[in-house]
Amino acid sequence: MIRLGLCCIFREESIRFRQTTASVLNRMNRREQLEKLSDLCTANLSNLLEALQWCHINRIGAFRILSPLFPRFTHPDVGYQLENLEHYTEILRLCRSINRFRQENAIRLSLHPDQFNVLSSPHELVVANTIRELEYQGRLAELLGADVINIHAGGAYGNKKEALMRFQVNFDLLSERVATRLTVENDDRVYTPTDLLPLCSTVGIPLVYDVHHHRCLSDNLDIGEATNHCLETWKRVKREPCFHISSPQDGWQGQNIRNHADYIDPTDFPEEWMRLDATVDVEAKAKELAVLRLRDDLDQW
DNA sequence: GCATGTCAAGTTGTG
DNA sequence: CACAACTTGACATGC
């Protein structure tokens, strides 16, 4: 069975995640900062539980958790520890409820750290910041029961081989809780599946195959071949494979095919995926509306 | 109440 | 060399 995944937020449902910025926090004293952050973390966890309940009711089998679930957690000035928040006990209780709910209802959770997390960077500071952020997401993953932390391979710096070598070296600096969850995804400007598959076998991490990115930046593999190679990387770690799907905003003849459309054109859904046991994250601007429509479209087939 | 500007972070490609 | 694009809404501010 294909399980479809909703990414991070809702378009029409009133489930909303809250945020803040460092500049707002910096205008407060530490006590006020922690009060605000405690409120936001607690609210976001309640919202996450609601999001999972929505997924369950609507037969959506996966949910991607937004990175700033705990806002500004790793920020150098205003970062904090959960233990220092007023609602710490409540926060842990909510995490356990979420973890139990996703387990009982078989909802797969994943995380997708932002583009500035670059393990292949030649800059020590960038790598250090990346590791800090990944460790935060690892903690989150452990608390909530997410099994995927998916990132891109980063920049090429004029030499992809060397960049991927740095990725490999820096991977060894990650904790067990991050390393066992980390996956790498082909992107639409630098790294194709062909570029990443050797890294995946050397490091022993799975490939998240984004077919839209592959259509924007192709290699010598067709979709069926890339799918099969991707499946092998997941088989090695005995876990359910993960794919991404989107459609271009103005069709394949449009100006910028990288932009995501509101909905998924069902003809963009690879035939090769139809009979797989796999997760397919739906990256579409209409969010839950797009997932529901694609679910119905696939049911028709 | 509504419009507008801001938000920690990286890298690439364009002009 | 500077800057927009990537992707993107939520929030705070100002009128």
Task: Name which of A96, A169, A175 is nearest A134 in CA terms.
Answer: A175
For the segment A45-103, what is each residue's pLDDT rounded down to a tens digit? 999 999 999 999 999 999 999 989 999 999 888 899 999 999 999 999 999 999 999 99
Residues A18, A254: Cα–Cα separation, whole Å: 34
pTM above threshold 0.85? yes
| Chain A span 159-198 residues with beta carbon within 7 Å of strand C | 188
CB of A273 closer than 8 Å to CB of A231: no
Q: Which nucleotides of C are covered by protein (CB under 7 A)?
A: 5-13
Q: Is the CB of A23 under 7 A from strand B?
A: yes
Q: Where are the domains of chain A?
A: 13-111
Identify the pLDDT of residue A46. Answer: 92
Q: Over the stretch A105-152, which tens digit does the pLDDT of each residue have?
A: 999 999 999 888 999 999 998 999 999 999 999 999 999 999 999 999
Closest amino acid to nucleotide B8 (CA–C1'): A75
Strand B nucleotides within a 7 Å radius of protein CB atoms: 6-13
Interatomic separation, CA of residue A67 and C1' of nucleotide B4, rounded (Å): 26
Q: What gap in Å lies between CA A97 and CA A46, rounded to an integer? A: 10
Q: Separation of CA A71 and C1' B3 in angstroms?
A: 26
CA neighbours closer than 13 Å in the CB half-sphere of residue A79: 9
pLDDT in tens, A234-281: 999 999 999 999 998 878 877 778 888 889 999 999 999 999 999 999
